[in-house]
């Protein structure tokens, strides 16, 4: 009987240790901004133990950082018992509401956190979110006369589109995309970056984007930085360095001219 009890205790200890190690891996991935990697690490942990509220809380944060707010809010509610263990729980919860454009709800959630009970290391994050909420409420109360709209499904997908630069005539953009169907997955769990371009038609509707020829291998981190000389020259980032490409007679960019300012 004593052997059975001892074996049970050892098994419980090992299970707890493995779980702690797994979450350490998750925290490391999150610290590096690899949200999709962290989510993949969390899936088996959550599936194995439904009431692992810390794991669910971490998944909430990952979805928030990827702007998947509906999933984030749902998981935050499910993980709320973890707030009894860590009062910092409510800070990213409030941040999710703030990012989704609801500063009033964000403020209501943040009030549930007690600054005096939060670890000293994280108090700056509490103050930062609190100040962001105050700024959001102030600016949203007196909005600028600006129209903001989504460029639509011909450009935006469930993946990521960013780092855009505008052509000289203001009717075209060059940008970076990380999405399914473009290359392989990188170590951070997302697809490698691709250089894309799109233009507006005579009705100011954006056309379907397309890859910029000659610059997409599918295994690079690459992004446009600036268009020069009436768009005949492109300044771009690639794998930690900066290069220049020039347009040829066929209208395609070619070459990778080193700026001589790149270092190790």
Number of residues that make up the chain: 264
Examine residue 170 and state whether it is found in any structural domain, yes or no. Answer: yes
Tell me what the mean pLDDT of segment 195-213 comes to. 92
pLDDT tens sequence across 133-157: 999 999 998 888 888 888 999 999 9
Read off the DSSP letter of residue 206. Answer: B
Examine residue 146 and state whether it is found in any structural domain, yes or no. Answer: no
Q: Is residue 41 domain-shared with residue 9, that is, in the same domain?
A: yes
- The domain that holds 89 is classified in CATH as 1.25.40.10
Determine which helix (DSSP H) or strand (DSSP E) holds 44, and give its type and residue range.
helix 35-48
**Average model confidence (pLDDT) across the chain:** 88
Domain boundary among 89, 111, 141: 141
pLDDT tens sequence across 52-65: 999 999 999 999 99
- Whether residue 16 is predicted with pLDDT greater than 80 in this model: the reply is no
Q: Is residue 170 domain-shared with residue 64, that is, in the same domain?
A: no
Q: Is residue 130 domain-shared with residue 171, that is, in the same domain?
A: no
- Count: domains in the chain: 2
Tell me what the mean pLDDT of segment 176-202 comes to. 90
pLDDT for residue 188:
86
- Whether residue 14 is predicted with pLDDT greater than 60 in this model: the reply is no
Tell me what the mean pLDDT of segment 10-21 comes to. 42
Q: Is residue 119 domain-shared with residue 246, that is, in the same domain?
A: no
In the chain, DSSP assigns E strands to 160-166, 172-178, 194-199, 210-211, 222-228, 233-238, 241-247, 253-258
pLDDT tens sequence across 79-111: 999 999 999 999 999 999 999 999 999 999 999
Examine residue 150 and state whether it is found in any structural domain, yes or no. Answer: no
Examine residue 94 and state whether it is found in any structural domain, yes or no. Answer: yes
Tell me what the mean pLDDT of segment 8-18 comes to. 38
Q: Is residue 75 domain-shared with residue 188, that is, in the same domain?
A: no
- Whether residue 122 is predicted with pLDDT greater than 60 in this model: the reply is yes
Q: Is residue 124 domain-shared with residue 166, that is, in the same domain?
A: no
Domain boundary among 81, 112, 141: 141
pLDDT for residue 12:
35
Q: Is residue 114 domain-shared with residue 214, that is, in the same domain?
A: no
Mean pLDDT check: name the lowest of 47-51, 72-76, 124-128, 129-133. 47-51
Determine which helix (DSSP H) or strand (DSSP E) holds 67, and give its type and residue range.
none
pLDDT for residue 6:
39
**3-class DSSP state of 51:** coil
Which residue is listed with tokens 């790149």? 262
As a whole number of angstroms, the distance between CA 218 and CA 197 comes to 16
**Banded pLDDT at 2 (limits 50, 70, 90):** very low
Q: Is residue 136 domain-shared with residue 182, that is, in the same domain?
A: no
Examine residue 76 and state whether it is found in any structural domain, yes or no. Answer: yes
Per-range mean pLDDT, top range of 4-8, 128-132, 203-207: 128-132
Q: Is residue 201 domain-shared with residue 105, that is, in the same domain?
A: no
pLDDT for residue 15:
40
Which residue is listed with tokens 């001589």? 260
As a whole number of angstroms, the distance between CA 155 and CA 138 comes to 32
Q: Please tell me the number of Cα atoms within 13 Å of 153 on its side-chain side.
A: 0
Which residue is listed with tokens 């439904």? 50
Q: Is residue 99 domain-shared with residue 213, that is, in the same domain?
A: no
pLDDT tens sequence across 205-252: 999 999 988 888 888 899 999 999 999 999 999 999 999 999 888 888
Q: How many other C-beta atoms lie within 10 A of the C-beta of residue 143?
A: 8
As a whole number of angstroms, the distance between CA 162 and CA 72 comes to 22
Q: Is residue 131 domain-shared with residue 19, that is, in the same domain?
A: yes
- Whether residue 44 is predicted with pLDDT greater than 70 in this model: the reply is yes
Read off the DSSP letter of residue 117. Answer: G
Q: Is residue 229 domain-shared with residue 113, that is, in the same domain?
A: no
8 A C-beta contact, residue 219 and residue 192: yes
As a whole number of angstroms, the distance between CA 144 and CA 91 comes to 28
- Whether residue 13 is predicted with pLDDT greater than 80 in this model: the reply is no
Examine residue 151 and state whether it is found in any structural domain, yes or no. Answer: no
Q: At what angle do helices 123-141 and 90-99 cross, to 10 degrees?
A: 30
Domain boundary among 76, 111, 141: 141
Examine residue 149 and state whether it is found in any structural domain, yes or no. Answer: no
Determine which helix (DSSP H) or strand (DSSP E) holds 214, and give its type and residue range.
none
Examine residue 218 and state whether it is found in any structural domain, yes or no. Answer: yes
Residue 53 domain boundaries? 2-141
**Banded pLDDT at 184 (limits 50, 70, 90):** confident
């Amino acid at each position: 009987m004593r052997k059975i009890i001892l074996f049970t205790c050892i098994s419980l200890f090992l299970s707890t240790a493995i779980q702690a190690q797994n979450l350490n891996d998750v925290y490391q991935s999150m610290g590096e901004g690899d949200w999709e990697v962290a989510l993949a690490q969390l899936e088996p942990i959550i599936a194995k133990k439904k009431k692992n509220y810390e794991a669910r809380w971490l998944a909430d944060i990952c979805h928030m950082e990827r702007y998947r707010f509906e999933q984030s809010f749902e998981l935050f509610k499910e993980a709320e018992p973890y707030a009894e263990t860590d009062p910092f729980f409510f800070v990213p919860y409030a941040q999710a509401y703030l990012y989704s454009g609801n500063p009033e709800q964000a403020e209501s959630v943040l009030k549930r956190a007690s600054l005096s009970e939060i670890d000293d290391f994280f108090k700056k994050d509490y103050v930062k979110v609190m100040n962001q909420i105050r700024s959001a409420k102030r600016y949203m109360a007196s909005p600028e006369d600006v129209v903001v709209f989504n460029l639509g499904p011909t450009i935006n997908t469930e993946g990521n589109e960013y780092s855009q630069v505008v052509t000289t005539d203001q009717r075209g953009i060059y940008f970076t995309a990380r999405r399914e169907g473009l290359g392989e997955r990188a170590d951070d769990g997302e697809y490698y970056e691709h250089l894309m371009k799109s233009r507006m038609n005579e009705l100011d509707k954006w056309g379907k984007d397309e890859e910029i020829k000659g610059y997409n291998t599918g295994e690079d981190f690459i992004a446009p930085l600036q268009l020069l000389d009436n768009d005949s020259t492109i300044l771009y980032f690639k794998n930690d360095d900066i290069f220049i490409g020039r347009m040829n007679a066929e209208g395609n960019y070619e070459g990778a001219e080193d700026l001589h300012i790149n270092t190790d």
